[in-house]
Structure 1
Amino acid sequence: MTYLEGFVAAVPTANKDAYRKHAEDAAPLFREFGAARMVETWGDDVPNGKVTDFYGAVQAKDDETVVFSWFEYPDKATRDAANEKIMSDERMEKMGETMPFDGKRMIFGGFDAIVDERGEGKPGYTDGYLVPVPVDKKDAYRELAQSVAGKFIERGAVRVVEAWGDDIPDGKVTDYRRAVKAEDGEGVIFSYVEWPDKPTRDKAWEAIMSDPDMQPQGEMPFDGQRMFWGGFRPIVDV
């Protein structure tokens, strides 16, 4: 299955165009290094949470917008080789000197896809999720996520991906584990659902929330209070 490098960052809202250009300029290099796809999405419908949320994950300020992004690789070996090239390539070093956001608060890590379901159409809107899941409930989570993915596809989703944290570094300021307040024995899920557009997504959610088959049944294999999500508009998709 697909291997992902997932990112969440806080970008000054005024720097949106500069951020888009920065990402577009970097895209050919990542493709050269082996990335099959590079997606950058801009926060559009990102709610505040009671326990966790995207804003807290990257310590976003009032004048900043959250960006949810990922690179897709065919496997971990290709991703690892790409990261080695990124660290030693002079072109990437020069681009790093002019980043239009605070890289110290960006969170990143490697994730191994455990669910990857595809529908029809082209992506035009994304729901992004971060979820803490006990390691011993990974299989139960995969089974649940697989069944839910089918519901999303039935309602018009273009693609549903659930990826298990495989290579998540501890950060000095922010990181994925702190973002979801992960406890000992828990892993982190990086997930996204791509829709053709926001109206399709909104209509699908209305139907899903009223679907009795989508209501929680018994003990869930994760802590829903520490899971968080948001809606994002793509600004780069290469």
Structure 2
Amino acid sequence: MTYVEGFVVAVPTANKEAYRQHAADAVPLFKEFGVARMVEAWGDDVPDGKVNDLKGAVQAKDDETVVFSWFEYPDKATRDAANEKMMSDPRMQSMGEAMPFDAKRMIIGGFDAIVDDRASGAMGYADGYVVPVPDGNKDAYRALAEKASQVFRDHGATRVVEAWGDDVPDGKVTDYARAVHRQDGETVVFSWVEWPSKVARVAGWEKVMADERMQPDGSEVPFDGKRMIYGGFAPIVEA
């Protein structure tokens, strides 16, 4: 199943086009290394949270926008080989010298997809999520995610991916663990829902929330929803 390298980064809002161009210029190189799909999605509807949120995850400033992005690989071995190439290729060093954002605040990790469901249609908008899940609840989380995935796709979503933390390092300034206030015995999940457009996303969510399959059934939710961070994003690079 798909292996994901997930990123969250704060980009000066004024640098949007420079960031988009920087990412677009990097596509051929990343594809050469083995990336099957690369998505960069610009924050459009990223709410403040009571406990934590995506802005706080990357210490975003008032004049910055959160970007939610990911690389997709066919498997972890391909991802590991790609990372080795990236670390040794001199072209990556020159790219790093011109990054239009503060890389020290970028959070990054490797995630193994446990749900990857597709429907027909392209992506024009995405909901992105990061959530801590108790290790012992992995199967229960997967089951809940599979159930929700069907509902989302029934109401217009074109793809649902839930990826379980596999290689999620601690950072010096920011990281996924701090982003979701991860506790001992928890794993970080990186996930997203793809929609054809923002209009489809808004209409779809109304139907999802009204769908009886999404109503509580009395069973215990297998994660702490208060620490889940999320937002809506418009893709600026997809290749």
Corresponding residue of 2:234: 233
Give the superposition deviation at 1:212.
Answer: 2.5
Alignment-derived partner of residue 24 in structure 2: 24
- Long gaps (5+) in structure 1: none
Corresponding position of 2:197: 197
CA offsets per residue over residues 132-172 of structure 1, 9 Å max, x none? 00000000000000110011110111110000000000000
- The answer for the alignment partner of 2:48 in structure 1 is 48
Please state whether the residue corresponding to 2:227 is helix, strand or coil: coil
> What is residue 169 of structure 1 aligned with on the other side?
169
Number of residues paired by the alignment? 238
Q: Is the 8 A contact 2:42 2:67 kept in 1?
A: yes
Instruction: Give the % identical residues.
Output: 71
The amino acid that maps onto 2:227 is R
Amino acid at match of 1:236: V
Q: Distance in 1 between matches of 2:184 and 2:115?
A: 24
Query: Which residue is 2:127 aligned to?
Result: 127
Corresponding residue number in structure 1 for 2:221: 220
Structure 1 residue matching 2:44: 3-state secondary structure: strand
- Please give the per-residue CA displacement for 1:42-93, whole angstroms capped at 9, x wherever unaligned: 0001110001110010000000000000000000000000001101111010
Query: Residue 73 of structure 1 corresponds to which residue in structure 2?
Result: 73
- 1:8 aligned residue: 8
- Whether the 8 Å CA contact 2:124–2:198 is kept in 1: the answer is yes
Instruction: Write out aligned runs for 1:66-145 (5 A).
Output: 66-145=66-145
Q: Which amino acid aligns with 1:231?
A: G
Conserved in 1, the CA contact under 8 Å of 2:86 and 2:92? Answer: yes
**What root-mean-square deviation, in Å, do the aligned CA atoms of Structure 1 and Structure 2 show?**
0.6
CA–CA separation in structure 2 for the residues paired with 1:4 and 1:192: 11
CA distance in 2, matches of 1:113, 1:170: 21
Unaligned runs of 5+ residues in structure 2 are none
Distance, in Å, in 1 between the alignment partners of 2:161 and 2:200 is 18
Provide the residue aligned with 2:154 in structure 1.
154
The letter for the 1-side match of 2:65 is T
Give the structure-2-normalised TM-score. Answer: 0.99
For residue 207 of structure 1, report the CA deviation from its aligned partner: 1.1
**Letter paired with 1:225:** K
Query: Is residue 165–residue 190 contact of structure 2 (8 Å, CA) maintained in 1?
Result: yes
> Structure 1 length normalisation: TM-score?
0.99
Does the CA-based 8 Å contact 2:151-2:213 persist in structure 1? Answer: no
For 2:221, what is the secondary structure of its paired residue? Answer: coil
Q: What is the rounded CA distance, in whole Å, between the counterparts of 2:234 and 2:226 in structure 1?
A: 25
What is the Cα deviation at residue 216 of structure 1? 2.7
SS in 2 for 1:216: coil
User: For 1:3-59, what per-residue CA distance to the aligned partner results, in whole angstroms no more than 9, with x for missing partners?
Assistant: 000000000000000000110111111100001000000000111000111001000
